[in-house]
Amino acid sequence: MDEDAVLDRLRGVEDPDLGDDIVSLGLVNDVTVEPDRVSLSLALGAPYSPTETAIASEVREALSDLDRELELSANVDSGLSADEQVLPNVENVIAVASGKGGVGKSTMAVNIAAGLSQLGARVGLFDADIYGPNVPRMVDADQRPQATEEEQIIPPEKFGMKLMSMDFLVGKDDPVIWRGPMVHKVLTQLWEDVEWGHLDYMIVDLPPGTGDAQLTLLQSVPVTGSVIVTTPQEVALDDANKGLRMFGRHDTVVLGIAENMSGFTCPDCGSTHDVFGTGGGETFAAENELPFLGGVPLDPAVRTGGDEGAPIVLDEDSETGGAFRAITEKVANNVGVTKRQGQSQR
């Protein structure tokens, strides 16, 4: 058994999204064959995504009869030098955005982050909404950040997620009244001066709209992709379109459209009411040739979970939690598609 023989076997492993085998796509970075071990480095960049987990399982199956230990590792070249990497230990930065307020963007960000953590990923949740930070309440985090002797911030943790928010750094009822340059400076410090450690995913909850925080993120941090949150109603879709154009101008991949408040099922009569319309998010995604990540119903338990700091995605018995879990898996899968496409085109 030599390297060529290993590669021949791996040509039987297909990437279901890219439509070819992992060798032809350039997703096998390195093969090392030793007397007692075969080591493989694969260009898989979305830890715990169902698709990449399945690809890794197929690789193991293809080499299962070797009389050697199989050692798999995943690595995607960012294309950046060490000096160019703002967050060198963060594998994927995902921006969660909306064109307008009130569509449940923070709820979506918190549940995606908690869902990824529940899958086993190392997750950071960055609340970049300077003027209206809600994340600490939504995860019931009242512990303040600590600092090292080198004046690095140690983020508090909840539900396995490392957290950072302006809410930790200002008085509880103090308004933040800052102009653009100050917003840029503070946000830059918060992600550069925080000891995030090694993260598979950093979820960034952006403020609504297309202002200073969004521009600071897109100009300063290598964003893997964005999730645009909307409700089915036309006014929300109009603003979602503005957010979509903003990411397009900065060459940022949109991982998909997530729809909140998709419908309300009456607990008494069992009928479903489309309070904010129906199908708007899916239609918007189709018109822009983007993935539709799924819809989340208008469920009082989501509001309760947000107010009490218990993300509903963690409730295994909740159908609404299941909707958030499905969106989380699609986000991770689409991160993987984005990373593997980039690798195969090099």
Q: Is 106 annotated as a binding residue?
A: yes
Q: Is 209 annotated as a binding residue?
A: no
Any idea what DSSP says for residue 285? H
Q: Are 114 and 313 in contact (CB under 8 A)?
A: yes
CA 195, CA 301: separation in Å to the nearest integer? Answer: 34
Q: In terms of C-beta density within 10 A (0-12 exposed, 13-18 middle, 19 or more buried), how is residue 290 classed?
A: middle
Say if residue 306 carries a ligand binding annotation: no
Closest CA to 47 of 72, 23, 71: 72
E strand intervals along 23-134:
28-33, 37-42, 69-74, 93-97, 123-127
Element (H or E) spanning 205, and its range? strand 201-205
Q: Is 123 annotated as a binding residue?
A: no
* 206 dihedral zone (left: phi>0; alpha: psi -120 to 50; beta): beta
User: Distance of CA 8 to CAs 52, 75, 260, 301, Å?
Assistant: 20, 21, 46, 51
101 is in an annotated binding site: yes
99 assigned ligand-binding residue: yes
Phi, psi of 107 (to 5 degrees): -60, -45
- Which are the contacts of 150, defined by CB distance < 8 A and separation ≥ 6? none
Helix (H) or strand (E) holding 265: strand 264-265
Binding residues for ATP: 99-106
Q: Which residues are annotated as a binding site?
A: 99-106
